[in-house]
Amino acid sequence: MTVEDVRQLMGASTPHFALQLRERIKALIRGLPTDHPARIEGEREIARLDKIAYVGEVRGHPAELGFKPLPSVGHDASNSR
């Protein structure tokens, strides 16, 4: 078990799959000593996955002064004309 093994799972982390990945990482690091680098990295990632699973992931920045935010993908653009 290496830190790279944990990082390979982390690469696919999105809010949609966060809880599934969290469980996979828990299984990977189970049984490792508390000071093992892979366990430390795994526990750090588990905390991050818990956060994005329940709060979501923020990317980019808020709308700038004078600009309206772009509508969400599910927004019906035909109604806003």
Tell me phi and psi for residue 9, to 5 degrees: -70, -35
Q: Does 80 have pLDDT greater than 50?
A: no
pLDDT score of 9: 73
Q: What is the pLDDT of residues 3-61, one digit of tens each?
A: 888 777 777 677 778 888 899 999 999 999 999 999 999 999 999 888 888 876 656 66
pLDDT exceeds cutoff 50 at 75: no
- DSSP structural state of residue 17: G
Tell me if 63 sits within 8 A of 35, measured CB to CB. no
pLDDT of residue 5: 80
Q: Ramachandran region of residue 31, left (φ > 0), alpha (ψ -120 to 50) or beta?
A: left
* Alpha-carbon distances of 42 from 3, 55, 68, rounded to whole Å: 8, 20, 39
